[in-house]
A and B are shown apart, each in its own frame.
Chain A
C-alpha cells in the first residue's frame, strides 16, 4: 500500500490556503493537491510604470490589455466574469474541460488556478453579524476568534466610520484605507450633508474594508494606487492566496503537488481515505491515501467530488448564490472633469441598507470609479454610434460610479445541483444546475434595487442603467452540503466533517446555510481555519 499522508488539502484557493496554513502551523505534515494552473505570460509584459504612463508609450500594450488572442474583445452581453482582463483570464483556463456545468439559469465562474478565484477577487472583506452567522449555521464565538486570526494573516484596511460595524466591527489591527478619489469623495460629502435622510432610511456609507495592506506587512509592500489592480499584483499589497501557499512551500512539513484533478474519494479500513486523481501531465489516474482529507476545491468542485464519491447520480443538492446586478451611475458634480493620475480599481465606498437595523436583513453595494477597464468595455453599452460615443464616454467616464449591488440569499426549491453521467466529458460527468428565484424574492430585490437607486441619487450619482449579468455572476457560492447537527447524508457536521465519513472535512463554503449580502470570502477563510483546527482533533 502506498504512503498514507497525515493530511491532504485539496485546493490552493482562499479556503485551501487558510486551512493548510492552520495545519502547517500546528506542526502536522500536509500535502496539498491542486489543479494549480499558472500563467504569467501577460504579467511579465506589463511595464514598471503606472497605467497612464504605459498607455502613452508602450507599443505592445494590446498584448496584455486585449490579449494575444484578443480574448478581451467580447461581443456578448455582460455576463459572469466579464471583468477578468487577459492577465487574470488564466484563472478560468481548462475549466470547461474539467469542470463542466450545464445550466440555462446559472452561470458560475470557477477556477483551476494556483490560488483559485482569489487571483482576481475584489478583496472586499466583511465580518458577518451574529444574526448572519447563526443563519449560516456558523458558531459566532468561534468565528469571531477565527476572523481575527485570518485578518492578522492577510492584512485588512478599512475606515473607522459608519459602516465599521458591518465590515471590520470588532477586528483589531485594521490599517487605514487607501486614498479616496475626488469622484467618490464627493459622494461621501453628500452623504455627510444629508446624514438625516440616510439615517432615517437605514442606509450607511463608508470606506470599503479590503484585504489590501496600506502599510508594509509580512514581506509585502504597502499599496500605492497605480490603476494596475485589474492587471498585476505589484508589491503583493493585495492579498492573493498564492502568497500564503508560496510561504508554506518554504516549510518542511508542507508539500505541494499541482497538475492534479481530484475526482473522488472513499474511506477504506481504519478510516484511511483513498483519493482517486487524474494526473494532467502524465494523463493517467493515480491514488493517494491520507488519514484526513480536507476538501477546499470551491463549493461546486466539492459538490462534484462528493456526488461522485457516493455515486449518487440523481441526488439533488441545494445551492446558494447572491443575486447581483451592476448599476452604472453618473456623478453629476464630476461631469467633464479630468481623471486623477493614480486611482484604484478596487471598491472605495460601500453602501449598506440594514432593513430593520437588526443586522439580519442587509443588502450591500460596492462603489467603484471606472478607469483602467478602459473605454471600449463601457462604450459597447451605450446606444449610440461609436464615433460620437468616444467623445461622450470620455466626457462621462470620470463621473462614472459603478454600483455593484448584492442581495442576501436563502435556500429555495429551485436552487439545485445534480451530477449526470456524460461519457463525452473527460470526467465522465456533468454538473446540472437550476437557479430560479421565487416571485416574492424577485419582488423584494426589485424593491431593494429601487431604494439603492434612490440612495445613489441622493449621493449625487444618478443611475442610468441596470445590468443584470444573471445568476452566478456574484461569484459568491455556498450551501451545497449544509451544516446539520444530525447525521444526515450530503451535509456537514458543525465542525465541517462530511456526515457519513470519519475523516473527510470540507473547508470551503459548502456548509453555509445562508448567504449574507456582504462579501463572503473573509468568512470562508475564517471557517476554513476553524475546520482545519477541528480536523486536528
Chain B
C-alpha cells in the first residue's frame, strides 16, 4: 500500500517506525480492498503524490466513504495518537498567531478549490 506517501501527504514528514507498525496493525483489522477505480486512483497517487489532495477532496464531495479515503483516515487516526505529531495536529491547543489565522484561510480556500478540481479528476480517472 506504500503508506509513507500518505503519511507525508498528511504531515509533511516521513512516518517513524512505531507509526508504520501501528498502521500495519490497523490495516490487519480494517481490511481495505480497493475497487478497480480506487486502485487506479491509488496508482495515480503513487506516481504523482501532489494529486492526493485533489483525489481526496474530490472523493470527500462525491463519495466520502470511499476506501481510498478510509486508508488516509486510518493514517490520520494514528498520527493523532503519536506524541511526535501532537504539535502538528493540535494547533487548537496552542496560541494562535496572525500567521496561523491567514494559513487557515489559505487552507480553507485551497480545500474548496482542490475539492472542485478533484471532482473532475476522480470522474476522469
Contacts and interface: CB of A to CB of B under 8 A. Distances in A.
Interface of A: 52, 55-59, 61-62, 65-66, 69-73, 75-77, 336-339, 374-376, 379-380, 382-392, 394-395, 397-398
B111 interface: yes
Contacts of A75: 30, 65, 70, 73
Given A387-B52, A397-B92, 11 more contacts: A55-B90, A62-B82, A69-B29, A71-B29, A75-B73, A339-B93, A375-B90, A387-B53, A388-B53, A392-B107, A395-B104
A390 B29 CA distance: 25
Given A57-B83, A75-B30, A391-B107, A384 B57 contact: yes
A73 B104 contact: no
A334 B111 CA distance: 22
Contact of B115 (A61, A383, A397): A383
A383 B61 contact: yes
Name the 6 nearest CB pairs between A and B, nearest first.
A388-B111, A385-B57, A385-B56, A62-B81, A384-B111, A394-B91
A62 B22 contact: yes
A165 B73 CA distance: 45
Interface centre among B10, B61, B111 (most CB of A within 10 A): B111
Q: Main SS of chain B's interface residues?
A: helix
Contact of B56 (A58, A337, A387, A394): A387
Contacts of B29: 69-71
Interface of B: 9-10, 18, 22, 25-26, 29-30, 52-54, 56-57, 60-61, 64-65, 69-70, 72-74, 76-78, 80-83, 86, 88-96, 100-101, 103-104, 107-108, 110-112, 114-115, 118
Contact of B92 (A70, A338, A380, A387): A338
B64 to A, nearest CB: 7
Contacts of B92: 338-339, 394-395, 397-398
A331 B61 CA distance: 25
B95 A58 contact: no
A376 B10 CA distance: 13
A386 B108 contact: no
Contact of B96 (A336, A374, A392): A336
A386 B78 CA distance: 13
24 contacts: A52-B93, A55-B90, A62-B22, A62-B81, A70-B30, A75-B30, A336-B104, A375-B76, A375-B89, A379-B76, A383-B60, A383-B61, A384-B112, A386-B69, A386-B72, A386-B73, A388-B57, A389-B111, A390-B89, A391-B91, A392-B104, A394-B90, A394-B104, A398-B92
B78 A62 contact: yes
Interface centre among B77, B78, B91 (most CB of A within 10 A): B77
Contacts of A388: 53, 57, 107-108, 110-111, 114
A75 to B, nearest CB: 5
B15 to A, nearest CB: 13
A77 B65 CA distance: 8
Interface centre among B53, B74, B104 (most CB of A within 10 A): B104
A70 B25 CA distance: 8
A336 B52 CA distance: 27
Contact of B81 (A61, A384, A387): A61
A62 B118 CA distance: 32
Contacts of A56: 83, 86
Contacts of B26: 66, 70, 73
Contacts of B115: 383-385
B81 to A, nearest CB: 4
Nearest to B118: A385
Contacts of A338: 92-96
A530 B80 CA distance: 48
Contacts of A339: 92-93
A52 B86 CA distance: 10
Contacts of B74: 70, 73
A392 B111 contact: yes
B96 A337 contact: yes
A66 B23 CA distance: 12
Contacts of A392: 104, 107-108, 111
A3 to B, nearest CB: 46
A169 B115 CA distance: 51
B10 A387 contact: yes
Contacts of A395: 91-92, 104
B25 A391 contact: no
A398 B94 CA distance: 11
Interface centre among B54, B74, B107 (most CB of A within 10 A): B107
A390 B100 CA distance: 13
Contacts of A66: 26, 77-78, 81
